[in-house]
């Protein structure tokens, strides 16, 4: 980032489902400058520029990577492109924020991490729920022993619609829950299983049940679905003393305890 006190200059690449949200948020921030917006779709660029009139637009990723005035790039491109594009950004000497998931294989994720290390640049994945105030408070409850020993965790992340063609429910929805569960428990699982079914699009699982078991004996279960009659965004932690529920669908009081 700039060392002369200037605001870092950011580029957003990808204007599909989530990219316009990044454009809007960066444009409103005082701590950085949204300098460049990139997408191959000219119509999408025109709409995005309404959100950030002062930003330059381009249909060329090469232009973004060659611009020495760009300090960091935020990638919101289709999931299968994440790892390769992140590597290109890092090798161009720029910090990189990439929407979740970082990659679809361990090998691709490791290549991106290695590129970050080699370039000496920050690689950050958009696991935004880790920074949610309620999740931070939940982590504090666990760390302070308010719940006792954590016995098990389960999550519900379901809705009807927003079907994807290039990623299944685990990659699209489950990345949030996996990130939060690992952050809360502070350990890596020793057993992981996932079972999914593709009911709408062949080969793209729209319903997934995941299970993780940790060395401490804690178990975690995830129910992920695009085929559910109601929308849920909930993580429940069951402890030996008390239980806690983070309900992201509630505007107020989204962290509750009982027991």
| Domain assignments of the chain as residue spans, ordered by start | 9-126, 129-258
Nearest by Cα to 27 from 7, 44, 3: 7
CATH superfamily, domain 129-258, is: Dihydrodipicolinate Reductase; domain 2 (3.30.360.10)
Nearest by Cα to 69 from 140, 6, 158: 6
Instruction: Give residue for tokens 């929805």.
Output: 173
Helix (H) or strand (E) holding 231: strand 227-239
pLDDT in tens, 166-219: 789 998 899 999 999 999 999 999 999 999 999 998 999 999 999 999 999 999
Instruction: Supply 62's token pair.
Output: 């090469």
What proportions of the chain, in percent to the nearest 5, are helix, strand and coil? 35, 30, 35
Residue 4 pLDDT exceeds 70: no
Instruction: Give residue for tokens 């009139």.
Output: 53
pLDDT in tens, 95-140: 999 999 999 899 999 999 999 999 999 999 999 899 999 999 999 9
The whole-model pTM stands at 0.85
Residue 164 confidence (pLDDT): 77
Cα–Cα distance, 231 to 225 (Å, whole number):
9
**Which CATH fold would you assign to the domain 9-126?**
Rossmann fold (3.40.50)
């Amino acid at each position: 980032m700039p060392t002369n006190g200037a605001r870092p200059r950011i580029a957003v690449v990808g204007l599909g489902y989530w990219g316009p949200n990044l454009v809007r948020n960066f444009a409103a921030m005082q701590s950085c400058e949204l300098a460049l917006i990139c997408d191959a779709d000219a119509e999408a660029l025109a709409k995005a520029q309404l959100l950030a009139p002062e930003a330059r637009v381009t249909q060329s990723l090469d232009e973004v990577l060659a611009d020495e005035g760009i300090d960091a790039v935020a990638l919101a491109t289709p999931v299968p492109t994440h790892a390769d594009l992140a590597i290109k950004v890092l090798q161009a000497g720029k910090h990189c924020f990439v929407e979740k998931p970082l990659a679809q294989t361990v090998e691709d994720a490791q290549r991106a991490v290695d590129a970050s290390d080699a370039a000496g640049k920050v690689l950050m994945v958009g696991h935004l729920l880790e920074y949610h105030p309620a999740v931070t408070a939940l982590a504090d409850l666990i760390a302070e022993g308010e719940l006792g020993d954590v016995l098990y965790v389960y999550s519900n992340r379901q809705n009807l619609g927003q079907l994807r063609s290039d990623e299944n429910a685990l990659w699209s929805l489950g990345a949030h829950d996996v990130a939060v569960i690992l952050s809360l428990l502070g350990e890596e699982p020793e057993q992981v299983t996932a079972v999914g079914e593709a009911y709408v699009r062949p080969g793209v699982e729209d319903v997934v049940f995941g299970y993780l078991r940790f060395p401490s004996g804690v178990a975690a279960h995830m129910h992920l679905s695009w085929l559910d009659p109601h929308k849920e965004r909930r993580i429940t932690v069951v402890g030996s003393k008390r239980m806690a529920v983070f309900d992201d669908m509630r505007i107020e009081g989204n962290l509750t305890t009982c027991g």
